[in-house]
A and B are shown apart, each in its own frame.
Chain A
Amino acid sequence: MFETRLNSVLFLSVVALALTASALGSYPVYLMSLAGINIIAAIGLNLLTGNSGQISLCHSSFMAIGAYSSSLLTARYGLPFWLAIPLGSFLATLVGALLGAPASRLRGIYLALATLGFLQIVQIVIEEFADVTGGVRGLNVPKATFAGMYVSEYVRFLLVLASTGFAIWSATNLLSSRVGRELNAVRLSPHAAQALGVPVDRIRLTAFALSAAYAGLAGGLMAIVVGFIDPGEFGVSAALRQITFIVVGGMGTVAGSVIGAAVLSAMPELLRPVKEYNDIIYTLILLGFLTFMPRGLVTLWDSFRIQIARATSTKEART
């Protein structure tokens, strides 16, 4: 009972948010768009690291691929954003599969190294092909248009909101199906998984491709929301931030991705006066959670839910 009531409450609040957002003002809408984008990216990384157990330091590189390719498709070939962004995500997925093919055979530090190497490769490519990507100085993103009119930031926010909803819905579907079980099985005991017919390497590769798909989507959305692509956003600091999102929220769960990304997305604002200390603060938070709450904030949410469920069921039993 509580579950369905909770879901209805969440759904209604999201609808309310969508309707009232235009009244909130430009800056809060912008922040919420960024939060949504972070949630989508976090969901992708969590599937790869939290569920299939593969550490990745190059998740932001897939965001970069999504961002640059969708912007370039619009800028150079006139594709509208609603085609360019999915295509960008598709391209990121392909690259994710390409990287995943060899990477999924690696473990531990070797995998971390390979993903770090890939991160650097993407950064170098961005810098060297400067006439296409704008190099270190970044790329201006053409404003999104629909039916000849510029898409307002409020509508862009709705787009992000819808995409975030899709990401949450699809990831939840996956995790509660045999795909989710196989992802976790591959992490928990590859030997037992193999013996039950799970193609371990293929599942790991799928996880890479999946994570890249979500990251590519997030990247494409980020490009049109921010209006500008800064390659510095896709380096080691970003990798650190995204890992922090999923550790803080809770690895292996969609709720964890949402909680971690949403909570920490508020941070850059709170931290504006001390912007340079961003990395330090993220690291402290990350190390703190790794030490004291390695399963993330979602554990608090879970115990809260169980308590409420218990309370409401005893109430019903009594009546």
Chain B
Amino acid sequence: MKERLRIEKLTVRFGGLTAVSELSMTVAAGEIRGLIGPNGAGKTTAINAITGVVPITSGLILLDNMPLTNLAAHQISHRGVGRTFQHVEPFGDMSVLDNVLLGVGRHSHVPFVHALFATAIADRGEKQANSDALNILERFDLLSYRDSLASSLPFGILKRMDLARALAARPQLLLLDEPTSGMSESEADHAIAAARSLAESQNITLLVVEHNMRVMMALADSVTVMQHGCVIAEGAPSDIQLDRKVIDAYLGEELSDAAP
């Protein structure tokens, strides 16, 4: 199996806090890997480290055997890494179409001078980008919102837009940060089905951070479990569900949530 993402002993420390400690994992090309763990396990920090948003204290991150560790965030994106955000991070003042167009822009680039003088090349590029974006909007059932301002839309629609936008960039590795948070059960089921079919049809490797066990079980090929910045278990979803350590980690969280 070709490996797409390899993380070796990743450590991320801020101030006195160690958010991720010697995390190692390998994700095969085309795999759907879940990354779960109780709150504060370091899952989102790991995502931020891969995408270049937070500086790494030590360790290596390799994409298709090429190091990502010293690259700027936008360069990492150009290597084929995409992500969605837990809180969506929409371009609020822009329409849904424009949001997705920014995703399209990652691989289709009208040069500055052409844009400035509105040349035929610019025109063609813009038309192509528009049709790509509209295709994606259609696939995600967002066509009716194409001209609506992102800031006016409900969270569930924005989540779909976030995914559409990330996919518009044609990533090879897509990191989904809590993609179903804030969604109802049926919305979540829809989202999972869409993600799965997309990953398979376009051979995209998915790394999905999820808090919701049910979603994870339905979606992932295999699961890595984190707690306190370290990996505590890894394997098939069915095995993970029965793993003592995992149950303790989540139970501990449930108990502390329930405490008065």
Contacts and interface: CB of A to CB of B under 8 A. Distances in A.
Direct contact, A vs B (beta carbon within 8 Å):
yes
Interface of A: 169-170, 173-174, 176-179, 181-182, 184-185, 188-189, 191-200, 206, 252
Contacts of A170: 116-117
Interface stretch (B99-107, B179-187, B214-222): B99-107
Question: Which of under 10, 10 to 19, 20 to 34, or 35 or more describes the interface residues of B?
Answer: 35 or more
Contacts of B89: 189, 191-192
A194 B109 CA distance: 15
A173 B118 contact: yes
Interface of B: 51-53, 72-74, 77-78, 82-83, 85, 89-94, 98, 101-103, 105-106, 109-110, 112, 115-118, 122, 125-126, 129, 165-166, 169
A185 B74 contact: no
B112 A194 contact: no
Given A173-B115, A174-B115, A181 B73 contact: no
Contacts of B93: 184, 188, 252
A178 B98 CA distance: 9
Contacts of A199: 72, 74
A195 B82 contact: yes
A47 to B, nearest CB: 12
A41 to B, nearest CB: 18
A196 B165 contact: yes
Given A170-B116, A195-B77, A197-B106, A188 B85 contact: no
B116 A178 contact: no
Contacts of B91: 184-185, 188-189, 192-193
Contact of B105 (A173, A178, A252): A178
B74 A200 contact: yes
B116 A181 contact: no
A185 B122 contact: no
Contacts of A196: 77, 82, 102-103, 105-106, 165-166, 169
Nearest to B51: A195
Nearest to A191: B89
Nearest to A173: B118
A178 B110 CA distance: 7
Contacts of A188: 90-94
B165 A181 contact: no
B94 A185 contact: yes
Contacts of B53: 191, 194
